[in-house]
Chains A and B, each alone.
Chain A
Amino acid sequence: MLRRSPRRVIDPDLNLTSMMDLFTIILVFLLKAQATNDMSLSPSRDLVLPISSADASPELAVSVVLSRREIRVDGEAVVGLTTVPDEEKPGQLLVVIPPSDRRGELIGPLYDHLVEKASVAMRIGEASGRPEHQFKGRILLQADRGLPYALVRDVMITAGKAHFGEFKFVVLKEN
């Protein structure tokens, strides 16, 4: 009987032990670092939030983002902003609301949008009857650090007239 030496089949066995070590350690680290909040709030990309020593956590609320280019409510662009030269300080620019969007002291499109959101939220609260679903008039305001107070004030006045009286300014926690 011919005895053939068994052909050596080189089985390319991928040694996964070190990769498993790596993945397990990364996984444990990420599990530990996983923060569970009731809402996931990521800062908008086209603005820089101011830094603050505040440490209260964000809660579920209507999100209004005030960047240098536009105002967004819950992700939807509502009002575009324009940059005009500052009359009182030549050479500097000021971010303002276009006059066509103004309705007296209110910001027209923003007011309409917020009134609609408020009425939907109030109807939901009434239909549900449970205290946690009641409309609280809360707004999470993210604004770029360099915006003039006049703009923030106008947004707050508009939101106040649209039944949103509770403002929470979102800030970066300082280390």
Chain B
Amino acid sequence: MRTARRDRSSPAMNLLPVLNLISLLIPLFLLSSQFVHLAVIDTTLPGPGQEDAALALVLFVTERGLAVSGADAIVYPRGGAPGPADPSAPTLPCASGYCREVSDYDWRGLTRLLSRIKDRYPQEEELVIVPDARVPYEVIIAAMDAARVDTGARGADGRPRSLFPQVVLADGAP
């Protein structure tokens, strides 16, 4: 008896359902994938219940530069009596006397100054930023960045040293 020869070749896999599934999943993932990564910065308005920190560190952001004021002489690197700073005489003036772009400000100088202040007051974490009314928003963000961490130094945990991460935005000059 002749046994019928079995067709040994396995049937071709029907890939159409799998392809169907994949062609649905790929557009779904493409639409929901993130090509732009967003982050957030916490900030608050000055509240009535805030204690006055011993240092009362204030950063004035004007179009002529950055002025830092605090209750300690270390804030004034070139000397000068501690007390309310005169924003018209910036601690870190702009290179040409007038800052047009974000990059015109001396952010590294600010980070260095804040790092020295942090050495003196390691427990202080709050900084009040008082921008002028016309200062662009990105300058304020850059000020927060410069005040948040010192990328040149390492903290106790090996990460970039945290300076003044808590920022309070106060009402600036009109």
Chain A positions near chain B (C-beta within 8 angstroms):
13, 16, 19-20, 23-24, 26-27, 30-31, 33-35, 40-43, 49-59, 86, 88-89, 94, 140, 143-150, 152-153, 156-157, 160, 165-173
Contacts and interface: CB of A to CB of B under 8 A. Distances in A.
4 nearest A-B pairs in the assembled complex, by CB-CB distance: A50-B138, A30-B29, A150-B133, A145-B138
B29 A53 contact: no
B18 interface: yes
A54 B136 CA distance: 18
A153 B44 CA distance: 11
B10 interface: no
Contacts of B172: 149-150, 153
B70 interface: no
Contacts of A35: 33-34
Contacts of A41: 38
A54 B41 contact: yes
B148 A50 contact: no
A169 B138 contact: no
B2 interface: no
A19 B19 contact: yes
Nearest to A24: B22
A16 to B, nearest CB: 5
B40 A149 contact: no
A170 B43 CA distance: 11
Nearest to A160: B45
Give the size category of B's interface with A: 35 or more
B26 A33 contact: no
A40 B41 CA distance: 17
29 contacts: A13-B12, A16-B19, A20-B22, A27-B25, A27-B29, A30-B33, A33-B33, A34-B32, A42-B36, A50-B138, A50-B142, A51-B141, A53-B145, A53-B151, A54-B145, A55-B39, A56-B41, A94-B134, A145-B138, A146-B138, A148-B135, A149-B136, A150-B133, A153-B133, A153-B169, A157-B45, A157-B171, A167-B44, A170-B38
Given A53-B145, A165-B44, A147 B134 contact: no
A152 B65 CA distance: 20
Interface in B102-154: 131-138, 140-142, 144-145, 148-149, 151
A25 to B, nearest CB: 11
Nearest to A20: B15
Nearest to A144: B137
Nearest to B15: A16
Contacts of A146: 136-138
B37 interface: yes
A164 to B, nearest CB: 10
